[in-house]
Structure 1
Amino acid sequence: MKIHLLWKKEEIEERHINEDKIAVVFDVLLATSTIASCLAAGAREIIPVLNTTEALRTKEKLSAGTEEVLLAGETDGLPVEGFINPVPSILNRRASGKTVILSTTNGTVAIRKAASAKKVYTASLLNGEAVGKRIAGTHEGETVVAICSGSRNNFCMEDYYGAGYFIHCLMRETDDPELTDSARSAQLFYENMKEEAVSVLTRSSVGRMLSDYGFYEDVAYVSQRGIMDVVPRLNGAGTVLMDERDSASEHGPAETQRYHL
């Protein structure tokens, strides 16, 4: 197995993210953390969209009653009018049994850009260990590409840290994987800062912004490592679901109660 890392979503070249690649997308603050926590809280599915216009269009196309579909979205960290703020402390309480259409500035865009890979997983600190174990148990010859979403063409420290945690977990499950320098650097960054998760996230640019907006507790919540067994995967229809080896009995609302918001 070869493991590579992209520093930000703008580095994704769709012709290279192909059937030989397993993509793992990170937007620790907050899209991929929100996806993991929503599924753990009982959401039926997450539909990642490129922007709020597509979100509204997608909702119109769905045949399910509007009470079963939630619009959640932010732009530059601020909630969009008419959309639920996609932070776990708000969205988790409403997600059970619902389809969540999710629009974010960076993470959902990265997921969509990676869609041409053989498989696309989403990961965060909350579920990075579970995703690492699943990939190690089901893939051998492909290249695993950890994709840091970043923020508007800028590197984000929290995504790098989350990817490093995932790589650290994946390496424990595989025999002698080949790491590129970018992947190795993320692994080393995490291993040198592994007891500083809250500090890394709260001192990042996005973490400071969210804290200033009053969401410090959400930042602290998503800094927890490996507390959720959910393995979210993008399917061919563009919907993020539990990976087929997961079951609802394994992943319920109790998973979100290990840190109270």
Structure 2
Amino acid sequence: MGKIQLIFKKEDIQPEQMKGKVAVVFDVLFATSTITAALADGASSVIAVYDQSQAREKAKSLEEPYVLAGEDQGRTIEGFHHPLRTHLNPIVKGKHLILSTTNGTVAINRSSQADHLYTSSLLNNREMAKHLIENHNDDTVVLVCSGSSGHYTMEDFYGAGSLISYLVEKGNFELSDAAQTALLFYNGLSISPFQLLRSTRIGEVLVKAGLDEQEIKFVAQEGVLHTIGKYDPSTRQIKEVE
């Protein structure tokens, strides 16, 4: 029997303790949703970096075509593309997406010592659960909620609860108290995923800053993409699982 554990925010990740485990990182608004969509849209890979300086250094070392995208505290980094599917969809096919975000890409890097590292979102949770059951049914799976600047975020907790619901439907897992709480929250919600994401602190802040609500409506869709992103430690790239 496998185990499902949950980490509430990236600051709680102890990198050494990720060894021997399977990690799945969530940043629903928006990093892991963007990663999932970019791979579905034909990106060669996504390279998740800590910050904009690391992104620029990585760009210098790449000989293949790439796209630089990122935000810092919700603002698009100067000279970078906006890190949302609508902006990246027309330009990302056949290119490496170098992505820098305040929370999600940091959580990915802090989780990189896991034996297997994936990124997930509401968009692909159903497919992710199927993959985990087929390949990691006896492992310890750690769901990592990125959070926001040291704080827990409801959207990532909801995203984790969504994945857990699909895992327990078909798989055989023992849930930690935190994982059980996420599942209860997901199952007990009486509003739509869009309404939840729109009402979160991050959702409110981004909409007030001019974000089109259509961006939130897109990432609130469950199971519309079948892409699974997996981190390759040899290249430090997230690629689609074939």
AA matched with 1:168:
S
* Mapped pair 1:92 → 2:94: no
- Are the equivalent residues in 2 in contact too, given 1:211–1:219 (CA < 8 A)? no
Q: Which amino acid aligns with 1:162?
A: G
Shift of 1:179: 0.3
Partner of 1:26: 26
Residue in 2 that maps onto 1:207: 203
Tell me the secondary structure at the aligned position of residue 6 of structure 2. Answer: strand
**Cα distance in 1, alignment partners of residues 231 and 170 from structure 2:** 23
What one-letter code is carried by the residue in structure 2 that aligns with 1:111? I
| Corresponding letter in the other structure for 1:165 | S
Alignment pair present for 1:77 and 2:74: yes
Q: Distance in 1 between matches of 2:75 and 2:90?
A: 19
Matched, 1:171 2:168: yes
Distance 1:48 1:28, change over 3 A: same
RMSD in angstroms over aligned alpha carbons? 1.0
Moved more, 89-98 or 99-108: 89-98
1:95 partner SS:
coil
Q: Which residue of 2 aligns with 1:44?
A: 44
Code of the residue aligned with 1:182 in structure 2: it is: A
How many residue pairs get matched?
239
Distance, in Å, in 1 between the alignment partners of 2:163 and 2:44 is 25
Amino acid at match of 2:80: F
Deviations 1:47-106 (A, max 9, x none): 000000000000001122xxx211000001110000001011111221111111000000
How far the C-alpha of 1:119 sits from its partner, in A, is 0.3
Question: Quick one: which of 221, 225, 234 aligns to 2:222?
Answer: 225
Q: 1:184 aligns to what?
A: 180
Counterpart CA distance in 2 for 1:97 and 1:136 is: 30
- Tell me how far 1:212 sits from its aligned partner: 1.7
Identity %: 38
Report the 3-state secondary structure (helix = DSSP H, G, I; strand = E; otherwise coil) of the residue aligned with 1:29. coil
Letter in 2 for 1:47: I
Amino acid at match of 2:195: S
Give the aligned partner of residue 12 of structure 1.
13
Match of 1:250 in 2: none
Q: Distance in 1 between matches of 2:128 and 2:138?
A: 17
Give the 3-state SS of the residue equivalent to 2:17 in structure 1.
Answer: coil
Q: Secondary structure at the match of 2:119?
A: strand
The whole-number CA distance in structure 1 between the counterparts of 2:66 and 2:12 is 32
Once residues 194 and 111 of structure 1 are traced to their aligned partners in structure 2, the CA distance between those partners, rounded to angstroms, is 31
**Structure 1 counterpart SS, 2:128:** helix
User: What is aligned with 2:120?
Assistant: 123
Aligned to 2:238: 240
| Partner of residue 197, structure 1 | 193
1:115 counterpart SS class = coil
How far, CA to CA, are the matches of 1:96 and 1:173 in structure 2?
Answer: 34
Tell me if the contact between 1:210 and 1:219 (Cα under 8 Å) persists in the aligned partners: no
In 1, the alpha carbon distance for the partners of 2:194 and 2:15 equals: 33
C-alpha offsets along residues 126-160 of structure 1, whole Å, 9 cap, x if unaligned? Answer: 01111111010011321100000000010000000
The SS at the match of 1:72 is strand
- 2:33 & 2:142 partners in 1: Cα distance? 18
- 2:3 maps to amino acid: K
Q: 3-state SS of the aligned residue for 1:94?
A: coil
The ranges of structure 1 where at least 4 consecutive aligned residues each deviate by more than 6 angstroms after the TM superposition are: none
- Give the aligned residue type for 1:26: F
Residue 152 (str. 1) matches residue 153 (str. 2)? no
Q: Is the 1:45–1:240 contact (alpha carbons within 8 Å) kept by the matching residues of 2?
A: yes
